Amino acid sequence: MMSSRTGSILLRRAGSRLFTAAAVSPAAASRPLLAGGNNGVQAVMVRLMSTSSPAAASEAKDEVAKAPKEGGDKKAVVINSYWGIEQNNKLVRDDGTEWKWTCFRPWETYTADTSIDLTRHHEPKTLMDKIAYWTVKSLRFPTDIFFQRRYGCRAMMLETVAAVPGMVGGMLLHLRSLRRFEQSGGWIRALLEEAENERMHLMTFMEVAKPRWYERALVITVQGVFFNAYFLGYLLSPKFAHRVVGYLEEEAIHSYTEYLKDLEAGKIENVPAPAIAIDYWRLPANATLKDVVTVVRADEAHHRDVNHFASDIHCQGMQLKQSPAPIGYH
């Protein structure tokens, strides 16, 4: 009885403070809640109501959207941007047309340097170089048997593998930099840039050749095996790992050269270039698949140079951070 009476007294006192307007001072009433004024109150109400009733939360959001904003020049509050992150969806190309890609932005595009020497080759002299060279050569035989001259599917498979080394190398250099409190000489960025470039190759060839179910299964298997093998190889010997990638890129140049031969001979239809390739490499609007393969081959030649260069740095007894990284080389 006593507890019931005490509870009712406390409830009356609390209610009078919560719901009586006289209990709120003018200064407190004018103070914005969560730096949002009335909108802040409404936003809090939306979040509170969303935990109890979806329908009520929806109605509250509609009321917030329709509520007049203080100071007509202010931007409208966007409920789904609770953290204040604004997305710029109005990017345009140089000609003023709308930019439709979200996987890369206009300032990340470039014109490929196709004048690079495609015949350059690192002659294997040391035992390590010979092991790296023949390791790559041994991987080519099963690839030739499986894909034969289906170069669209071959390129797609090649790029799923080629995008791994840059990511692995960049990740391990990143962790090394954190452990040792040291700079990387720009090599983290250079290797991740290479990985992203190879991934864009894959996104392009996905528009040219649609993988079959067993090719997708093969990609998953090969990627899993290659990632772990390269990860361990880079931990044990970065110079060996970079040399392997250098030779892989040389094989990629050979494969794309054969691809171009078939395109020129009419064995493969020279279809219009995918839209993503036209924007990424700044190709002309009437570019064809042959133009795409040409610029991709040039990219691979630049990756060849970067990885052989990185291996040479290690072979000379130095670390990568001691030589500035060729950022943006491709």
pLDDT at 87: 64
Question: Beta partners for 92?
Answer: 98
pLDDT at 22: 41
In a domain, 38, yes or no: no
pLDDT at 197: 95
* First and final C-alpha spacing in the chain: 84
The tokens for 230 are 């390269």
Instruction: Report d(CA 330, CA 326) in Å as an integer.
Output: 9
- Token pair 């720009």 is found at 186
> SS3 string of 74-115?
CCCCCCCCCCCCCCCCCCECCCCCECCCCCCCHHHCCCCCCC
pLDDT at 304: 96
In a domain, 302, yes or no: yes
Range with the poorest average pLDDT among 34-38, 121-125, 151-155, 202-206: 34-38
pLDDT tens-digit profile of 61-94? 454 444 444 444 545 555 566 677 766 667 877 7
Q: pLDDT class for 256, splitting at 50, 70, 90?
A: very high
The answer to whether residue 52 scores a pLDDT higher than 90 is no
pTM: 0.73
What is the domain-level CATH number for residue 222?
A: 1.20.1260.140
In a domain, 206, yes or no: yes
pLDDT at 32: 41
pLDDT at 17: 46
Segment 183-194 shows an average pLDDT of 94
Q: pLDDT class for 168, splitting at 50, 70, 90?
A: very high
pLDDT at 63: 46
Selection from 319, 328, 318, 329 nearest residue 184 by Cα: 319
The tokens for 215 are 């090719």
In a domain, 150, yes or no: yes
Residues whose CB falls within 8 Å of the CB of residue 300, separated by 6 or more in sequence, listed in order: 162, 249, 252, 253, 256
- Exposure class string for 168-181: b at 16+ Cβ within 10 A, else e: bbbbbbbebbeeee
The tokens for 327 are 């950022």
pLDDT at 57: 45
Instruction: Report d(CA 164, CA 187) in Å as an integer.
Output: 16
Instruction: Report d(CA 234, CA 229) in Å as an integer.
Output: 9
pLDDT at 66: 46
pLDDT at 90: 76
Please give the tally of structural domains in the chain: 1
Instruction: Report d(CA 40, CA 32) in Å as an integer.
Output: 7
Instruction: Name the residue with higher pLDDT: 195 or 90.
Output: 195
In a domain, 162, yes or no: yes
pLDDT at 81: 61
Query: Do residues 168 and 194 lie in contact, with contact meaning Cβ atoms separated by under 8 Å?
Result: no
In a domain, 71, yes or no: no
Q: pLDDT class for 218, splitting at 50, 70, 90?
A: confident
The answer to whether residue 247 scores a pLDDT higher than 80 is yes
Per cent of the chain over pLDDT 70 is: 74
The tokens for 71 are 């100071």
In a domain, 269, yes or no: yes
The tokens for 30 are 């004018």
In a domain, 102, yes or no: no
pLDDT at 238: 96
pLDDT tens-digit profile of 258-315? 999 999 999 989 999 999 999 999 999 999 999 999 999 999 999 999 999 999 999 9
**Residue 291 lies in domain:** 132-322
